[in-house]
Structure 1
Amino acid sequence: MLVWQRLLQAIDRHGKAAMATIVETRGSAPREAGARIVVLPDASFFGTIGGGTLEWRVIADLQGALARPTPHFYTSQRVALGPELGQCCGGRVDLALEVFDRSRRAEIQALAEAEGAGVFRTRATQQSDGKLHRSIDPASRLAIGSARVDHGVVEEGFGEDSRVLYLFGAGHVGRALVMALAPLPFRIVWVDPRPDAFPQYVPANVRCEPAQDTPAALDGAPHDSFVLVMSHSHALDLAIVARALKDQRFGYVGLIGSETKRARFSHQLDRAGLAKDDIERLVSPIGVPGIKSKLPAAIAASVAADLLVRDEALRHVHARGKTGPAEPSALAVGGR
């Protein structure tokens, strides 16, 4: 969630807004540290700290804070989910509650600009004016989207650390998948050589590439990018897959189609001289097991779920200090 850009819009439109952030959890909790919800004076809100009674109570607290003539700019809460709220999670959640008004617009704008430029981390302490003042901390290695408190210092990671997905093919399934991935942590490079293949409007996380030399679109791809191939041509599919499998940078190479198509492609790749280990990296069929529907939206839902599992598995591998693609055992095997 691009929180500071949304907060800047809220301040300009409403004059103030309130935000709750989970800064620490113990035991079972509905969301992780770093989850946020922002409440506006018109009673609308965006983001979530997990729903249920906790979120309902926090929304009410933030609405109350916005209604005060002189709000407390920063307060903290510690909530025991079982004893206090009757939630069966049974854990504990520490919250930071903040109110922002037009007097803080310059601060919010600076953070929104940093957010627009990529990911960043902050350190913050409560000052004598009662506000939580943040400064960007280039030395921090805190995970993006997370938060923690250490001796009164709040550390946070902002921005969207999204996986780059090269999606080849703007047919029915490609279009459905783009919509399924729109709210998820992926930056999509959508490639198709056909004129007018792309819809007029695409989600904000999509960049269209009408590349004629289609496989060359992978040149300069970031390390651990994902590649998903579903073009209008089997010959073009084969060229893209061969190009991707030769490069160890890619954390996932998927090809839409049946087991028969995979066997045929494996044979052709072998004849073209690709190493057996590289050919075995090809994921085809794609998606999660058990979904048999061939409706584009159903295929897209299946593939989106599988991509999320693979993205999280790869992040877990790197968080443990390993490099290179995740081991196959750490990933869910596609079933389509």
Structure 2
Amino acid sequence: MLNSSTQGLHSHSWLQAAIELDNSAENYVLITVLSTAGSAPRGSGTKMVVSEQNIYATIGGGHLEFKAIKYARDLIAKGETCQLVENFQLGASLGQCCGGQVMVLFEVFISDQVTLDIYGAGHVAQALVPILAQLPMKVRWIDSRSRLFPKNIPANVKKVIDEDPVEQVKQAANNTASLILTHNHQLDFALCKAILKQNKSLWLGVIGSDTKAKKFQYRLSQRGFSDKQIEKMVCPVGLSEVSGKLPMEVAISIAGQLVGLYQSLENKASAPKGKQWQELQSNLVQLRTEQGKVG
């Protein structure tokens, strides 16, 4: 799949794409041709951008580009900001008639905004989402009942209608926070099982009581989940010091807990380290030496 939002290639330049993806807090990779040896489809300095769902611009097409896109998306899936250099042999390994070599820089930009999947569009979610609209978070709001969603959805919220919300667990990105607020205890439990089994969630909150938490813990243990896995489930969700049962009271309590979550992650956000750049420089020297020998 090249693009999920348009047929063929995007009209955006790589720079327009990078600005747009930064503004929308989407993860992406900036791919740059650093150098070439022999015959190659594009010259040094050529750039393209790859996100989880789309590509922008081109480094020359063919097997080289498809391999670069796959490599970029594998890097995005790892969820770490980094810089890597790869040397592609166009003739030997990629089956392209050019027969040269291309050294490519992959710069991975992972948004430090927390991504949150909310399952359920009931009263608590209706009260919570407008609060989250004012916070640095990306939200997928998931329910099977389209009639429950308000007409106006905040810009940082994506509405997802699925007859089987559990299927959406498979679509969650790595290190996504998950919040279960559905109307159905069985659905809550099915979502818990799927999220814990997939083991990609940054955090898992479940609305409910202490009694519900104990029942879920027991049922999960009976299904082979370890204590370590079960401990990842936060139930009841929300700040214990914020009491009340009104939807807005519960929503404020959950919002406070989510603020604490993303603030605790801010200092851990990935950034280029001196050692990383030294390793990158070393790789560049090595790869250029190899290209020089071929040339």
The TM-score with structure 1 as length reference comes to: 0.49
Unaligned runs of 5+ in 2: 1-12, 29-48, 50-80, 83-108, 273-295
Aligned residues: 180
Unaligned runs of 5+ in 1: 1-108, 121-137, 143-157, 322-336
Distance 1:289 1:320 in 2: 34
Distance 2:159 2:210 in 1: 30
The amino acid across from 1:115 in the alignment is I
DSSP-derived class of the 2:237 partner: coil
Deviation at 1:267, TM superposition (A): 1.0
Distance 2:200 2:153 in 1: 27
Partner of 1:115: 19
Distance 2:110 2:231 in 1: 35
Residues 288 and 302, structure 1, Cα contact 8 Å, conserved in 2: yes
Cα gap change, 1:244 to 1:110, in 2 (>3 Å): closer
The amino acid across from 1:313 in the alignment is S
Cα gap change, 1:320 to 1:312, in 2 (>3 Å): farther
Pair 1:176-2:127 in alignment: yes
Return the match for 1:164 from 105, 112, 115. Answer: 115
Partner of 1:284: 235
Deviation at 1:205, TM superposition (A): 0.8
Distance 1:192 1:220 in 2: 14
Following TM superposition, where does structure 1 have runs of at least 4 consecutive aligned residues deviating by more than 2 angstroms? 109-115, 117-120, 158-162, 314-321
**Higher relative contact order structure (alpha carbons within 8 Å, sequence separation ≥ 6):** 2
Cα gap change, 1:111 to 1:159, in 2 (>3 Å): farther
Deviation at 1:159, TM superposition (A): 11
Deviation at 1:113, TM superposition (A): 5.6
DSSP-derived class of the 2:254 partner: helix
Partner of 2:193: 242
Return the match for 2:176 from 225, 230, 235. Answer: 225
Partner of 2:166: 215
The amino acid across from 1:116 in the alignment is E
DSSP-derived class of the 1:239 partner: helix
The amino acid across from 2:115 in the alignment is V
Distance 2:239 2:19 in 1: 33
Deviation at 1:195, TM superposition (A): 3.7
Residues 112 and 266, structure 2, Cα contact 8 Å, conserved in 1: no
Residues 116 and 178, structure 2, Cα contact 8 Å, conserved in 1: yes
Residues 251 and 314, structure 1, Cα contact 8 Å, conserved in 2: no
Deviation at 1:222, TM superposition (A): 1.7
Cα gap change, 1:290 to 1:219, in 2 (>3 Å): same
DSSP-derived class of the 1:191 partner: strand
Residues 225 and 249, structure 1, Cα contact 8 Å, conserved in 2: yes
Partner of 2:262: 311
Return the match for 1:254 from 186, 205, 213. Answer: 205
Give the 5 Å matches for 1:47-66.
none
Distance 2:128 2:229 in 1: 26
Give the 5 Å matches for 1:1-336.
114-118=18-22, 161-319=112-270
The TM-score with structure 2 as length reference comes to: 0.55
